[in-house]
């Protein structure tokens, strides 16, 4: 995966993050720098995603969550770009259906997938069914997703359960809310990686990233090769995680 002649960053294989989240940022700028249409950047970014998933699985990462398309993207991006992204996702899922079992990588989707096209919904359902037979790394694709929207949906579900008498208000705690979120069966991210030069969450995993380590870089997502992934993990391994406590 690496295009560099440098030796890859050494890693402590006993301290590999269990869960890595990635904001796949910079596809459009990558294409613009090369005089290419934006869809070429998204296509290159999808290939980077595929290679990154394989590498993280090899390293022993258990969960990978990627920000593919946000609720804000759905509202603010040009319709033509939205169609291109959805078409790219359709092609990727068709490819994944063939390769998923071989790679033993599980795929699932977080977000309002009911708002996607019937064809995409059918492909997602097919991918979910195949993933049930896989036991390897879990890849969570955030599609038409927003962190605030995820929390709002969970709060509504909790309110409905209260109204139905399934839970009493005094029983509501963090676990009760989280059990109604997309992340309910997933450990929180240990490391969040954001390529592309921006240094913000952009409404991504707001609940889940309360104690995640953040890694920001100017490298654009389509250029995020093996060396860049190893550098991000190496930076994580140099951190001391206290989770609100004190260092001994």
Each residue's pLDDT tens digit, 137-196:
999 999 999 999 999 999 999 999 999 999 999 999 999 999 999 999 999 999 999 999
Q: Please state whether beta strands 138-145 and 213-216 pair in parallel, antiparallel, or not at all (unpaired).
A: unpaired
- The pTM of this model reads 0.89
| Known catalytic membership, residue 27 | no
Q: In this predicted model, which residue has the larger pLDDT, 169 or 89?
A: 169
Joined tokens for residue 238: 């140099």
Best CA proximity match to 27, nearest among 94, 73, 79: 73
Q: What are phi and psi of 228, to 5 degrees?
A: -65, -40
| Out of 14-23, 71-80, 146-155, 164-173, least confident range | 71-80
Pick the catalytic residue: 5, 12, 14, 25? 25
- From the number of C-beta atoms within 10 Å of its C-beta (0-12, 13-18, 19+), residue 45 rates as buried
CA distance 3 to 128: 33
Instruction: Clarify whether 203 is annotated catalytic.
Output: no
From the candidates 73, 144, 190, 225, which is the catalytic residue? Answer: 73
């Amino acid at each position: 995966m690496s295009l560099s002649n440098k030796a890859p960053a050494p890693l402590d294989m006993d301290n590999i993050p269990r869960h890595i989240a990635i904001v796949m940022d910079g596809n459009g700028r990558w294409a613009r720098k090369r005089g290419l249409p934006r869809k070429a950047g998204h296509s290159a970014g999808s290939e980077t995603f595929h290679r990154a998933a394989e590498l993280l699985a090899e390293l022993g990462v258990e969960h990978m969550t990627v920000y593919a398309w946000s609720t804000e993207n759905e509202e603010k991006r040009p319709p033509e770009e939205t169609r291109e992204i959805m078409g790219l996702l359709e092609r990727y899922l068709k490819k994944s259906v063939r390769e998923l079992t071989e790679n033993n990588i599980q795929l699932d989707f977080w977000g309002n997938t009911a708002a996607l096209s019937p064809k995409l919904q059918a492909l997602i359902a097919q991918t979910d069914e195949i993933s049930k037979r896989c036991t390897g790394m879990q890849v969570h694709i955030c599609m038409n997703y927003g962190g605030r929207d995820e929390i709002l949906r969970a709060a509504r579900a909790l309110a409905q359960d209260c109204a139905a008498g399934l839970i009493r208000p005094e029983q509501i705690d963090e676990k009760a809310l989280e059990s109604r979120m997309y992340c309910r069966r997933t450990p929180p991210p240990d490391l969040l990686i954001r390529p592309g030069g921006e240094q913000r969450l952009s409404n991504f995993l707001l609940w889940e990233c309360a104690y995640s380590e953040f890694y920001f870089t100017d490298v654009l997502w389509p250029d995020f090769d093996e060396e860049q992934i190893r550098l991000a993990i190496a930076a994580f391994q140099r951190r001391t995680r206290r989770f609100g406590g004190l260092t001994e």
